Structure 1
Amino acid sequence: MVVMAQKKKRVCVVGAGPCGLVSIKELRSQGHAVTCYEASPRIGGVFSHDPESAYENLYLTISNYFMCYSDFPPRPEQGVAYWSKSEYAEYLDRYAEKNGLRSAIAFETKVTSAERGADGLWTVTAQNAAGQRTTELFDALVIATGSNSIPKTIPENGFGRRQMHSSEYTEASFCAGKRVVVVGAGESAVDIACDVAEAGAASTTVWTRRAHMIAPRFPTMMAEDSSHDEFEVITTPSQAGTCMIADFLEYHTISRVANEAPTWLWGLIRQVFWRVKMMDKANGSFRNLAFWAIESCRSAFWMADQALWITKNGRIHKAMAHGKIDYVVSKTCDFQTDRLVFPEVVAYNQKDHADEPISLEVPCDVIIWCTGYQTRFDWLKKEAESVGVNPRAWFKNCFPPGYGASLAFLGWARPHQGGIPQCAELLARYHALLLAGELELPADYAEIAVREGLDLDRFYCITPDLKSLVDYFSFMESVAGLVGCEPKRPSIFLQPRTFIKYWIYPNWAYWYRTRGPGKDPSVVDDVLARFPLKQGLSASNGTGVPVLGWPFPTVLAVLFALVQKPFNFACLVLSALVPEDLRPSKPGIDKPDRRAWLYNKSKAFVLHGLQLKWSHIIAA
């Protein structure tokens, strides 16, 4: 085991965004002395009050209850909703105020170099807005600048008109009357494309090299209501304030019971569901969703949308269904002065051309590149090469090999669905305890990181290059096991209502305060009391009144979990009889050519080394 000295440490935190803030708080809770350097004049990073930090119509893609820290939920009067950037910035302000975090932050101060000496101490040099430099020694360094800090460079091409990276985009009015191409189909790309179309662009085209899976924030509403407008529900208080937790995507995908099902079964159900929706009289928005879902998952039928990064922003489906946005998939593009020529289009709008690709010419005045960001640590000097830029080579996407707990990265665990700050918070709790000597890193943590990283590459086989991608449920459970704060399972006899909520409500971070270091069960009790079962078991369709009864996906999830129990049992029995290198119940994806993990155990126990135990079998 890697043992840290049992004394309080001096720690440098770089960045005061959501991940940096929670690191300061957790480190201080263990008595460590913290200095945080923040290059901007405000906390929050992308979610700061600075209007230039992100575009104006930025809204969360998970609910406020999912995005909040585990010990600081929304105010009691605040219902479940998708907060705007400014609303989340206000929340971060309150969090910083409550915990007195600003006193630890040096604003408008940029770290220019950080080097680790032979004695293990970090020499950190920073420069403030006035040009003054300071150099200090620290026992540990936390890098919380996030993976979205350095925009990718726009590739050289022959286009002769305006081009910009999405990081430069703030609002859409300049696109009125222009022919616009948006490159990419992530969450910001969808927002930008929709804003551009609504601002009066002459044409709006989205281009990607592969088909993207674009999920709706409110799946039941989209399926049931042909006039459903996702953005209108989010931005209209009279509608947003009446949503129930069963209306939200996370309710159906990140509950504990949903993760009890095997990977193949969820994949099969999704594939069948999409195809049924393509054949029946589903509304235009949902038919568009189904078409692109099928296209995006063709190479991983049995895993479906579990095999790739998902865009959680369904407002584009209505725009496409009404002809306001075109979507073209082509691996290559010929950039000309005033147009883009796609020579091998495999899908265009709702038409599949995979067997016989077509050529398409799109006149263009503006290209907005929503191609993401790159990870670079030039200021780490000699450490940059050994650290690398692949978070899957770091233990739990946080601890690079060779540094123990003296170097931690927060913000490089990006959930398939869920919040980056919540993953960072649990890691911050772990890191603070490591530095205090209360916990120890596994002796083979570097080898574990390699093994778990390969599992992630194989599992997310359609988007293996997105190295920060993790499975929220398995990741949180695995880190909670390290911290010792696994959720306390309520008794079905003594707490029947809480027991049901534990299984079918979203796996909010509050559950990880029920026991262990930093426990505060009152937080969980308070949050759960806000969502009675009558509302929690029903979707409202935005009316504020339960109208759909027990959601069908929840019923399926419960049935799948029950069916999977004997398979999990068989895995554990076999693990006791079969040689270790052949055990199908071994955590993770054992070998590239063995796909038993698709069916032999619950999805929860496939990734991040989460062990299937007898306690999981006997649990109700």
Structure 2
Amino acid sequence: MHAYDFRDTKGFEGKNVFLLGIGNSALDIAVDLAKVAKSVTVSTRRGTWVFNKVAAGGMPYDTLYMTRLYDWLMDAVPWTIANDFMENLVQQRMDHDLYGLRPNHRFFQQHPTVNDSLCNLICTGYITIADDVDTFTADKVIVKNGKSYDCDVFITCTGYTFGFPYLDKKLINIEHHEVPLYKFVFPPDYNNLAVIGMIQPIGSIVPISEIQARWVVQVFLGKISLPPKQTMLDDIARKRALMKRRYFQSEKHTIQVDYVKYMDEIATILGCKPDIWKVS
């Protein structure tokens, strides 16, 4: 089954469950199943850095990191130092080397994998981390290092293919998950068509969708004009290049944005970007 079809833990009681993939969906499902399943094994090809939702002192990390101060620091601090700091931080909570989680890429080269419960469940044996899948038998999964794991239920958590199969490809043609939309909203050839929410921020998607909707309405009403087509194409190409430089090569890293930067970008177009000097 695919992670999309998972709804609750009913029917998994006493089963050996094997999950392929180590993104947020995989870990959320694994944590839920650890309460009822006989065994839960998570297979990873490249590993991942696992971050927690709650910081020391009990504050959600969103409230600490989704700020202009943090955004400024990320631009000011050398890339290597920022990665060293975050990797040391997550290592204090869980030894990624000991449990086979350390990836080859740096912390900020991936979309965050966030889970508060995984560490305790791995340490206590409720969840096992395994190598990439090699082959299957009738009731086992054999991974690349030769180990085998009992398997009654196999769940693929390998992501989703997104697109618009109901639209003519001349309108929006998505290949390899690369979205040809100006600021992830407007097709350069059609200013009467817009997409809202097709974006993967490091931060909340709801406020981004809201500000995108405000922009779209202003364009449709004729109160804000879109730039020339070539300007939009250049912006699309620039964003793609930035993502390729920052993240490891993967189709899941094609619609990434930093929350504060993107919100400010659209707010500037709308003329509603806060002036922090006046606000303060």
Structure 1 length-normalised TM = 0.41
2:224 equivalent to 1:387: no
2:200 equivalent to 1:414: yes
Q: CA deviation at 1:359?
A: 2.4
Q: 1:262 to 1:438 in 2, by over 3 A?
A: same
Q: Tell me, in whole angstroms, the C-alpha distance in 1 between the residues paired with 2:232 and 2:178.
A: 14
Q: CA deviation at 1:294?
A: 7.8
The answer to whether the 8 Å contact 1:308/1:460 transfers is: yes
Q: Tell me, in whole angstroms, the C-alpha distance in 1 between the residues paired with 2:97 and 2:272.
A: 39
What residue number does 2:81 align with? Answer: 268
Decide which structure has greater helix share: 1
2:102 equivalent to 1:295: yes
Q: Tell me, in whole angstroms, the C-alpha distance in 2 between the residues paired with 1:374 and 1:271.
A: 33
The answer to whether the 8 Å contact 1:217/1:248 transfers is: yes
The answer to whether the 8 Å contact 2:22/2:42 transfers is: yes
SS in 2 for 1:470: strand
What residue number does 2:5 align with? Answer: 168
Q: Tell me, in whole angstroms, the C-alpha distance in 2 between the residues paired with 1:402 and 1:436.
A: 18
Q: Tell me, in whole angstroms, the C-alpha distance in 1 between the residues paired with 2:199 and 2:264.
A: 14
Give the partner amino acid of 2:195: F
- Return the match for 1:441 from 215, 223, 226: 226
- Counterparts of 1:529-544 in structure 2 under 5 Å? none
The answer to whether the 8 Å contact 2:200/2:256 transfers is: yes
Identity %: 24
Q: 1:322 to 1:474 in 2, by over 3 A?
A: same
Q: Tell me, in whole angstroms, the C-alpha distance in 2 between the residues paired with 1:292 and 1:268.
A: 24
Between structure 1 and structure 2, the one with the greater Rg is 1
Give the partner amino acid of 2:143: F
2:138 equivalent to 1:337: yes
Q: CA deviation at 1:385?
A: 4.7
- Return the match for 1:366 from 144, 147, 153: 153
Q: Tell me, in whole angstroms, the C-alpha distance in 2 between the residues paired with 1:326 and 1:215.
A: 18
Structure 2, gaps ≥5 residues long: none
Q: Tell me, in whole angstroms, the C-alpha distance in 1 between the residues paired with 2:97 and 2:149.
A: 25
Q: Tell me, in whole angstroms, the C-alpha distance in 2 between the residues paired with 1:421 and 1:490.
A: 26
Q: CA deviation at 1:208?
A: 2.1
What residue number does 1:613 align with? Answer: none
Give the partner amino acid of 1:311: T
Q: Tell me, in whole angstroms, the C-alpha distance in 2 between the residues paired with 1:176 and 1:397.
A: 42
Give the partner amino acid of 2:111: W
Q: 1:313 to 1:273 in 2, by over 3 A?
A: closer
2:23 equivalent to 1:186: yes
SS in 2 for 1:448: helix
2:60 equivalent to 1:248: yes
Structure 1, gaps ≥5 residues long: 1-163, 222-242, 344-357, 492-497, 500-620
Q: 1:363 to 1:290 in 2, by over 3 A?
A: closer
Q: Tell me, in whole angstroms, the C-alpha distance in 2 between the residues paired with 1:433 and 1:292.
A: 51
- Counterparts of 1:132-147 in structure 2 under 5 Å? none
The answer to whether the 8 Å contact 1:209/1:329 transfers is: yes
Q: Tell me, in whole angstroms, the C-alpha distance in 2 between the residues paired with 1:455 and 1:277.
A: 25
The answer to whether the 8 Å contact 1:274/1:293 transfers is: no
What residue number does 1:117 align with? Answer: none
What residue number does 1:524 align with? Answer: none
Q: Tell me, in whole angstroms, the C-alpha distance in 2 between the residues paired with 1:425 and 1:337.
A: 49
The answer to whether the 8 Å contact 2:182/2:233 transfers is: yes
Q: CA deviation at 1:216?
A: 0.5
The answer to whether the 8 Å contact 2:109/2:248 transfers is: yes
1:442-476 Cα distance to aligned partner (Å, 9 max, x none): 11212221222222222223545432222212111
- Counterparts of 1:3-42 in structure 2 under 5 Å? none
Q: CA deviation at 1:197?
A: 0.9
Q: CA deviation at 1:329?
A: 3.5
Q: 1:288 to 1:487 in 2, by over 3 A?
A: same
What residue number does 2:116 align with? Answer: 314
Q: 1:386 to 1:421 in 2, by over 3 A?
A: same
The answer to whether the 8 Å contact 1:415/1:472 transfers is: yes
What residue number does 1:487 align with? Answer: 274
Aligned-residue Cα RMSD (Å) equals 2.5
Q: Tell me, in whole angstroms, the C-alpha distance in 2 between the residues paired with 1:194 and 1:337.
A: 26
The answer to whether the 8 Å contact 1:340/1:362 transfers is: yes
Q: Tell me, in whole angstroms, the C-alpha distance in 1 between the residues paired with 2:210 and 2:154.
A: 37
Q: 1:366 to 1:464 in 2, by over 3 A?
A: closer
Q: CA deviation at 1:193?
A: 0.5
Q: Tell me, in whole angstroms, the C-alpha distance in 2 between the residues paired with 1:474 and 1:291.
A: 36
Q: CA deviation at 1:386?
A: 4.6
Q: 1:202 to 1:463 in 2, by over 3 A?
A: same
Q: 1:456 to 1:266 in 2, by over 3 A?
A: closer
- How many residues were matched structurally? 275
Q: CA deviation at 1:205?
A: 0.4
- Return the match for 1:401 from 182, 188, 196: 188
The answer to whether the 8 Å contact 2:48/2:101 transfers is: no
SS in 2 for 1:288: coil
Q: Tell me, in whole angstroms, the C-alpha distance in 2 between the residues paired with 1:294 and 1:268.
A: 21
